[in-house]
């Protein structure tokens, strides 16, 4: 096809606008693999990009969408051939490189990983960057020695995309999972995912002492700011916190006390430019360790025309779990 359907963000004197357009394939950016996109997803970062609430998009015009799954239709790379099923997360796609909210995408081969065996394209986007990031967090805790026998693990922002997958993964792996959320109505949902206990967000949102009672062997934090500072202050000696988000803010009003007096480790998780071997390992673990029925339970499917409204809702904290977009 010479033109295809795409969602495009433009920026002018009046600010950012977004519209559905017929995009010319000749205007795609350089890359050695062209993919017919079948599915994408809506992550919190996509919500920020589409609403303009954060300067995620750094090139205009831009096709947003930081994830996609689809089938290779042309390739100049020895890694991929037409007909191969592939998945993409990160690498600035949807930010500086034209993204996944389109019927066609062209990217460098290094951005792509083969669709993991056992996962459909739709399931891979039910995982998406949020679920893939959750897996990176779990793997980081494991590498640090935080194991099921170590004690309870807390997941903040538990009803969101990262949090939901993290709860499901940790529970299946045998951890005692405590889910922190500000949405009381999601307690049953989180227990169904495997949470042993629900901790109201209110208990973490106010500044606390630099060192508090030791509770957590580890944590997956997608919130940042004061809640993260409190989780660090409550982490047991030698424990670790995998931090991957900033829903409550980019600041960290903490002290060095947990680090130097208890040997707590803060593990930063960057999902955007992870080396390919680690990406492949994370996707293989997701295919192996994520309960497919639980994944289905936390996922809803929307059409292309619902992307913008869903993006607004996710920034407002009104979306739970994962969203798959059928392109």
Mean pLDDT along residues 293-304: 95
**pLDDT for 76-116, tens place per residue?**
999 999 999 999 999 999 999 999 999 999 999 999 999 99
- E-strand stretches of the chain: 3-12, 15-24, 33-41, 67-75, 85-89, 104-107, 112-114, 153-155, 177-181, 197-200, 216-221, 235-243, 265-268, 299-303, 322-326
Using CB atoms within 10 Å of the CB of residue 76, give its burial: 0 to 12 exposed, 13 to 18 middle, 19+ buried. Answer: exposed
pLDDT for position 226: 98
pLDDT digits (tens, 9 = 90+) for 173-218: 999 999 999 988 999 999 999 999 999 999 999 999 999 999 999 9
- Average pLDDT of the residues in 254-283: 96
Q: What average pLDDT is seen over the chain?
A: 96
Share of the chain above pLDDT 90, in %: 95
Q: Is the pLDDT of residue 1 over 80?
A: no
Q: Quick one: pLDDT at residue 14?
A: 86
**pLDDT 10s digits, 117-152:** 999 999 999 999 999 999 999 999 999 999 999 999
pLDDT value at residue 49: 96
23-53 per-position pLDDT tens digit: 999 999 999 999 999 999 999 999 999 999 9
């Amino acid at each position: 096809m010479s033109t295809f359907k795409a969602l495009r963000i433009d920026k002018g004197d009046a600010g950012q606008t977004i519209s559905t357009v017929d995009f010319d394939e000749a205007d795609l950016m350089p890359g050695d693999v062209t993919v017919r996109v079948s599915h994408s997803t809506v992550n919190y970062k996509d919500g920020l990009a589409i609403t303009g609430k954060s300067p995620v998009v750094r090139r205009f015009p831009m096709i947003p969408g930081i994830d996609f799954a689809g089938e290779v239709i042309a390739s100049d790379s020895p890694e991929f051939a037409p007909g191969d099923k592939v998945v993409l997360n990160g690498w600035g796609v949807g930010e500086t490189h034209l993204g996944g909210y389109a019927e066609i995408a062209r990217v460098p081969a290094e951005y792509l990983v083969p669709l993991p065996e056992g996962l459909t394209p739709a399931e891979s986007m039910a995982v998406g960057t949020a679920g893939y990031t959750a897996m990176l967090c779990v793997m980081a805790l494991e590498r640090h020695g935080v194991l099921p026998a170590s004690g309870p693990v807390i997941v903040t922002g538990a009803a969101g995309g990262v949090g939901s997958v993290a709860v499901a993964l940790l529970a299946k792996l045998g951890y005692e999972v405590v889910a922190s959320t500000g949405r009381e109505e999601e307690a049953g949902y989180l227990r169904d995912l495997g949470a042993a206990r629900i901790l109201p967000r209110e208990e973490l949102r106010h500044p606390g002492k630099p060192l508090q009672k030791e509770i957590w062997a580890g944590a997956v934090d997608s919130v940042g700011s004061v809640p993260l500072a409190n989780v660090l202050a409550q982490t047991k000696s030698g424990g670790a916190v995998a931090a991957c988000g900033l829903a409550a803010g980019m600041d960290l009003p903490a002290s060095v006390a947990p680090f130097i007096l208890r040997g707590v480790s803060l593990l930063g998780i960057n999902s955007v430019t992870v080396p390919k071997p680690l990406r492949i390992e994370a996707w293989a673990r997701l295919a192996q360790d994520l309960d497919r029925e639980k994944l289905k339970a936390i996922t809803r499917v929307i059409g292309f025309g619902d992307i913008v409204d869903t993006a607004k809702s996710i920034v407002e904290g009104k979306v739970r779990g994962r969203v798959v977009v059928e392109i």
